[in-house]
Chain A
Amino acid sequence: MSGASASGGWIGATPHRVEDETLLRGRGRFIDDLSPVPGAMHLALVRSPFAHARIRGIDTSAAAASPGTLAVLTGADLAATGRPLGAVIRGATEHHAVAVDVARYAGEPVAVVVARDRYLAEDAAELVDVDYEPLEALVDPLAAAEAGRVVSDRSFRYGDPEAAFAAAHALVRGRFPFGRWIAAPVECFGVIADWDHAADSLTVWANFQGPFTLHTVAAGALGLPAARLRLVTPPDSGGSFGVKAGVFGYIVLAGLTSKICGVPVRWIEDRVEHLAASGSATHRVTDVEAAFAADGELLALRYDVIEDVGAYLRAPEPATLYRMHGSLTGAYAVHNVAVRNRVVHTNRCPTGLNRGFGGPQLYLALERIMERGAARLGLDPVEVARRNLVPPEAFPYRTPTGGLYDSGDYAACLDDAIEAVDYEGLRRRQAERRAGGDDRLRLGIGLACVVEPSISNMGYISLAETAEERARGWPKSGNAEGATLAMNPLGGVTVRLSTVPQGQGHRTVAAQVAADVLGLSPADVEVQSEMDTHVNAWTVSSGNYSSRFAGIGAAAVAEAAAQLARKLRRIAGDVLECAPADVELVDGQARVVGQPDRGVSLRRLAGAAHWNPESLPAGLEPGLAVTAFVSAPNLDPPNDADEVASSAAHGFVVDVAVVEVDIATGEVRILDYVTVHDAGTLLHPRLVDGQILGSFAHGLGPALLEQTVHDDDGNLLTGSFMDYLCATSTEVADLRILHRCTPSPFTPLGAKGLGEGNTMSAPAALANAVCDALGLDGPDLPLTAPRVWEALAGAGGREGS
């Protein structure tokens, strides 16, 4: 369980997590455990009960007189001192932290109560009298497109799709809606804000997760130069899966409230608020058309996508739509693609990051259409997939949309998966059951082959604008990360990360990486993961998203450690009277290569650097602290042909789901589920499997149970955990995980991100399996028992009727 890996290094080993003991003892420090400033007042928010309403007036007098209440602020009060939240696309509906004049989704903040404690604040919030004039609400994305509430409408063409469609042997098309679902970390949002009037600056503690592009957006809305917004994250965060990027709007809300009231304030979101207003994945409706040759070759794809981002285009949206742009062809070597992307406003909560981020929606459409194509051609879906997979000799492989796939052996992964489930045997069993008498329990097999991009190119979002529009602004690209590493006078090492972990174990892995480079044990390396924008080394792309830690976050640690190691070798070379290149760092020693007896302890070298800088080799800068930045290669801004390498690394995932559907009840039981991953070098295989298990559960949720549902008037029907059905231990199936390893040539450690792949693949694999079992195209996700049964009933297959 602990100890170095077989190769002798710490990378690839599976030490216990350094995070665990504190958390297991209940000594974690989450946002609501902190009291960083004395006297913080508590906030409660008044939220719109209507999905769309004009705010004719707000009477705050009764609330202001409520016991323990310091102030009651309206959207107008905040707008008078702040600015709107900046959006990625010009022309999006103006968005304030608290609604001004019009509320555009049920749950939107319309007033802020500041009181001595949360109980009293909620009492006062009930007394805020808002005069609403309800307006017509738009809920359905298709209706929104028809009504012209389109924020962005872009068409793309790669290769020659028209010719390919004209020459096709078979055309298949389908519409695949993917409804809203939420990340629902068990810890909700929290913000503590302290405006310093003397310095005209704001310090905020928040369980924000990045990206720190949103620090810039928040500073703008607060009317502050970025250097006067100090954002600190707590040592621990209770999960995020993307959604805590959305905390930035509340940083603005709490910051302005603190400024106006002249007191520090504290807002801890409750679960009802979270379900209504924190943010969900987009609701996407994808019409997809695929052209096939008779032998199963995929000739062309055409997508027509309508993406509901909710009432406002909250940054970084419409990123959900463009995150996968370089991977629109998935794992398949197809050269002709046509795309139309429309982003629409509805009267629902603004959307945002959610694990998988655009992948689940894309792959549901792509993998379902591949399965339909196989059915149309009378071929086995596995054969059709194999016929089209990008071949191993093609890497690095440039996709038609501009993606650059780094490495992989997709067919080998598919073979592993097929063998693991005994695919042939399953098909035989399926045929036998179909031939047999009792057909109440139907067997289905579903395949999904997905390319899992990681380390997002900050530039892909600008695809929402045309090349001409982009030319007017600054080009954006890359994905840089920094880390700071220092050696203290006794030879111990501290690392400071800007990757804002939310449970992934970054501190454990960073210690492994630094230990390997410096010839230490992870126990010698103390890692801090609190982000403090006044202290840490960060860039706008810092943070915890797009599975970027293994590929780029850990690489920044490795680079900082390598720079420190170079310095230590120079000092050691001087002491040992050899060339620095002949010094190796092993077991806490600097030794002459090949002469294990000639060495000096790092402790002694560190002591010299700290206590006796005069002894350092001439020209060597004193001090043993290094800050290093790395950026993933190949991530250029989109070119004039709208091609973009939207991510730096690309893992590969093959899922095979085996299900049994009880057609009398519609229940879907997962009999077997195998996933084969190629995520390059695995830095800590146990943490890798943990990410895969969590990612699978996160995809199984919207596949089988989870959906955020609004009625036609925009009222939220899934406003509590009684109605929003998070997958629990009795619903999440056992997962069998297999690995292959093709290191990435593009990341310093050869590692690829892997925390999102199964969230992308599981909905597609499960949908394919259920459709295979039923011989039907529906129903839409989630595949709950009642919905499956209704789909059968609609198809005339209802039992006993």
Chain B
Amino acid sequence: MKPPPFRYVRPDSLEEALALLATHGDEAKVLAGGCSLVPMLNMRLARPEVLVDVNRVGGLAEVRADNGDVTTGAMLRQSAFERSPQLRGALPLTAACAPYIGHFVTRNRGTVGGSLAHADARGELPLVLLTLGGSVLAESRRGRRSIAAEDLFLYHFTSALEPDELLTDVRWPAAAPGWGYGFAEMAQRHGDYALAMAACALRRRDGVVAEVRLGLGAVADRPLLAGEAAGVLVGQSLDGAAGDEAVREAASLAAAAAQPFEDLHASVAYRRQLVSLLSEQVIRQGWLDADDRAGEGGP
């Protein structure tokens, strides 16, 4: 389990990094936290000619807040979402998923951008970014573009990034008054890839759901938004028997929207069952969380 030969380059600046990617294109791989790439190298499942280590590119791990968004640099380590009070406050859904990303030690090294660019259909961060309706910035020598989360994840392990593009920033819509969040996943062991997961962002106004996004992870070749399921919740109070009914209906629509696969660990039917349970759970979390926040004296 030793990596195949490659050339290692470590640019110090973004310009240099982009020039390398422009030159080597498909032959290059960007090395961020290495939590997914290096195992693949060690098993010789990945064979880049050039490895572009962006860990020392300046300015890629900064956090900025503006216009209701929080922008995090791609090289921000995953552990920051657990540790930074600022991020925990502004991005509660991201913070909620953080403890489920791998393990304590891998979160020290794993990066937010690496996780998104890797586009693992079982990744927590892709699911949360999609659920929040965030986006990423991709830069190349050809220019800079924003890619919405909906357009970023094409299929398992494949993102919309071009070979010469570097994911530089992640734009997360920040928590706002009236919004509540829920995240839940089921894995066989703590820290494993989930068998299924769900995330919810829900805005509550005048005692009913004003707006809601329900995301599903690990149950298709990319994270999904369960739009139809979310639709049945809008305009509903989720309290009482009618609310229970709406949540159950949404959960069952979510289960139907999932496109899970069977593998060594679990069947399609089981994963659908989980989608239903987890959806129910995160919708309720979102509803209650929104209520709590409203109680804090939002506008």
Q: Are B189 and A725 in touch, CB under 8 angstroms? A: yes
Q: Are A789 and B188 in touch, CB under 8 angstroms? A: no
B195 interfacial contact with A, CB 8 Å: yes
Q: Which residues of B contact A395 (CB under 8 A)?
A: none
26 of the cross-chain contacts (CB-CB < 8 Å) are A119-B2, A122-B2, A122-B44, A271-B1, A272-B43, A664-B277, A665-B274, A718-B264, A722-B192, A723-B264, A725-B189, A725-B192, A727-B189, A728-B190, A730-B190, A730-B191, A731-B189, A731-B190, A784-B188, A785-B186, A785-B188, A785-B195, A786-B265, A786-B266, A786-B270, A799-B273
Among B254-275, those with CB < 8 Å from A are 264-267, 269-270, 273-274
Q: Which residues of B contact A800 (CB under 8 A)?
A: 273, 276
Q: Are B5 and A123 in touch, CB under 8 angstroms? A: yes
- Given contacts A730-B189, A785-B186, are A793 and B269 in contact (CB under 8 A)? yes
State A731–B2 Cα separation when bound (angstroms).
31
Q: Are B44 and A790 in touch, CB under 8 angstroms? A: no
Our pick among A270, A717, A722, A789 for the contact of B1 (Cβ within 8 Å) is A270
- Given contacts A118-B2, A786-B266, are A728 and B273 in contact (CB under 8 A)? no
Q: Which residues of B contact A272 (CB under 8 A)?
A: 1, 43
Summed over the interface, the residue pairs from A and B with CB atoms below 8 Å come to a total of 64
Q: Are B264 and A709 in touch, CB under 8 angstroms? A: yes
Name which residue of chain A comes closest to B278, CB basis. A665
Q: Which residues of A contact B183 (CB under 8 A)?
A: none
A411 interfacial contact with B, CB 8 Å: no
Q: Contacts A118-B2, A665-B274 given; 17 further ones with Cβ under 8 A? A: A122-B1, A122-B2, A664-B273, A665-B273, A709-B264, A718-B264, A720-B43, A722-B193, A723-B265, A725-B188, A725-B189, A725-B192, A727-B189, A728-B190, A730-B189, A786-B265, A789-B270
Q: Which of A126, A664, A798, A800 has the most CB of B within 10 A?
A: A800
B68 interfacial contact with A, CB 8 Å: no
Q: Are A123 and B4 in touch, CB under 8 angstroms? A: yes
Name which residue of chain B comes closest to A269, CB basis. B1
Our pick among A718, A728, A790 for the contact of B270 (Cβ within 8 Å) is A790
State A793–B44 Cα separation when bound (angstroms).
40
Q: Which residues of B contact A793 (CB under 8 A)?
A: 269
Q: Which residues of B contact A664 (CB under 8 A)?
A: 273, 277
Closest CB-CB distance, B290 to chain A, in whole Å? 25
Closest CB-CB distance, B21 to chain A, in whole Å? 26
On A, residues with C-beta under 8 Å from B are 118-119, 122-123, 126, 270-272, 664-666, 705, 709, 717-718, 720, 722-723, 725, 727-728, 730-731, 784-786, 789-790, 793, 798-800
State A702–B277 Cα separation when bound (angstroms).
27
Q: Which residues of A contact B4 (CB under 8 A)?
A: 122-123, 126
State A718–B264 Cα separation when bound (angstroms).
8
Name which residue of chain B comes closest to A67, CB basis. B5
Our pick among B1, B5, B188, B264 for the contact of A705 (Cβ within 8 Å) is B188
Q: Which residues of B contact A727 (CB under 8 A)?
A: 189
Closest CB-CB distance, B7 to chain A, in whole Å? 15
Our pick among A270, A717, A728 for the contact of B189 (Cβ within 8 Å) is A728
State A730–B103 Cα separation when bound (angstroms).
12
Q: Which residues of B contact A790 (CB under 8 A)?
A: 267, 269-270
State A798–B191 Cα separation when bound (angstroms).
27
Q: Which residues of B contact A728 (CB under 8 A)?
A: 189-191
Name which residue of chain A comes closest to B270, CB basis. A786
- Given contacts A705-B188, A725-B189, A730-B189, are A784 and B265 in contact (CB under 8 A)? yes
Q: Which residues of B contact A717 (CB under 8 A)?
A: 264
Q: Which residues of A contact B273 (CB under 8 A)?
A: 664-665, 789, 798-800
Q: Which residues of A contact B188 (CB under 8 A)?
A: 705, 725, 784-785
Name which residue of chain B comes closest to A719, CB basis. B43
State A118–B44 Cα separation when bound (angstroms).
14
- Please encode chain B, from 46 to 69, with 1 for each CB lying within 8 Å of some chain A CB and 0 for all others: 000000000000000000000000
Name which residue of chain A comes closest to B264, CB basis. A717
Q: Which residues of A contact B274 (CB under 8 A)?
A: 665
**Total interface residues in chain B, CB < 8 Å:** 25
Closest CB-CB distance, B109 to chain A, in whole Å? 17
Closest CB-CB distance, B235 to chain A, in whole Å? 25
Q: Are B190 and A786 in touch, CB under 8 angstroms? A: no
Q: Are B195 and A705 in touch, CB under 8 angstroms? A: no
Q: Which residues of B contact A786 (CB under 8 A)?
A: 195, 265-267, 270
Q: Which residues of B contact A784 (CB under 8 A)?
A: 188, 265
State A792–B155 Cα separation when bound (angstroms).
33
State A798–B270 Cα separation when bound (angstroms).
10
Among B1-27, those with CB < 8 Å from A are 1-5
Q: Which residues of B contact A718 (CB under 8 A)?
A: 264
Closest CB-CB distance, A275 to chain B, in whole Å? 11
Closest CB-CB distance, A734 to chain B, in whole Å? 16
State A236–B159 Cα separation when bound (angstroms).
46
Q: Which residues of A contact B189 (CB under 8 A)?
A: 705, 725, 727-728, 730-731
Q: Which residues of B contact A723 (CB under 8 A)?
A: 264-265
Q: Which residues of B contact A785 (CB under 8 A)?
A: 186, 188, 195
Which 5 pairs, one residue from A and one from B, show the smallest C-beta to C-beta distance? A730-B190, A786-B266, A270-B1, A119-B2, A786-B270
Name which residue of chain B comes closest to A711, CB basis. B264
Name which residue of chain B comes closest to A121, CB basis. B2
Among B146-197, those with CB < 8 Å from A are 186, 188-193, 195
Q: Which residues of A contact B270 (CB under 8 A)?
A: 666, 786, 789-790
Q: Which of A730, A785, A798 has the most CB of B within 10 A?
A: A785
State A784–B1 Cα separation when bound (angstroms).
30
Q: Which residues of A contact B5 (CB under 8 A)?
A: 123
Q: Which of B2, B186, B274 has the most CB of A within 10 A?
A: B2
Our pick among B44, B190, B192 for the contact of A126 (Cβ within 8 Å) is B44
Name which residue of chain A comes closest to B266, CB basis. A786
Q: Which of B188, B267, B277 has the most CB of A within 10 A?
A: B188
Name which residue of chain A comes closest to B269, CB basis. A793
Closest CB-CB distance, A414 to chain B, in whole Å? 33
Name which residue of chain B comes closest to A726, CB basis. B189
Name which residue of chain A comes closest to B274, CB basis. A665
Closest CB-CB distance, B18 to chain A, in whole Å? 30
Q: Which residues of A contact B266 (CB under 8 A)?
A: 786
Closest CB-CB distance, A65 to chain B, in whole Å? 15
State A118–B195 Cα separation when bound (angstroms).
36
Among B31-50, those with CB < 8 Å from A are 43-44
Q: Which residues of B contact A730 (CB under 8 A)?
A: 189-191
Q: Which residues of A contact B43 (CB under 8 A)?
A: 272, 720
Closest CB-CB distance, A81 to chain B, in whole Å? 29
State A798–B267 Cα separation when bound (angstroms).
14
State A767–B4 Cα separation when bound (angstroms).
45
Q: Are B186 and A665 in touch, CB under 8 angstroms? A: yes
Q: Which residues of A contact B186 (CB under 8 A)?
A: 665, 785
Q: Are B264 and A665 in touch, CB under 8 angstroms? A: no
Q: Which residues of B contact A705 (CB under 8 A)?
A: 188-189
Q: Which residues of A contact B191 (CB under 8 A)?
A: 728, 730
State A665–B269 Cα separation when bound (angstroms).
11
Closest CB-CB distance, A123 to chain B, in whole Å? 7
Q: Which residues of B contact A789 (CB under 8 A)?
A: 270, 273
Q: Which of A705, A709, A731, A786 has the most CB of B within 10 A?
A: A786
State A718–B263 Cα separation when bound (angstroms).
11
Name which residue of chain B comes closest to A122, CB basis. B2
State A725–B192 Cα separation when bound (angstroms).
9
State A118–B3 Cα separation when bound (angstroms).
10
Closest CB-CB distance, B297 to chain A, in whole Å? 37
Closest CB-CB distance, B92 to chain A, in whole Å? 24
Name which residue of chain B comes closest to A727, CB basis. B189
Q: Which residues of A contact B267 (CB under 8 A)?
A: 786, 790
Closest CB-CB distance, A774 to chain B, in whole Å? 16
Closest CB-CB distance, B89 to chain A, in whole Å? 28
Q: Which residues of B contact A666 (CB under 8 A)?
A: 270
State A271–B265 Cα separation when bound (angstroms).
21
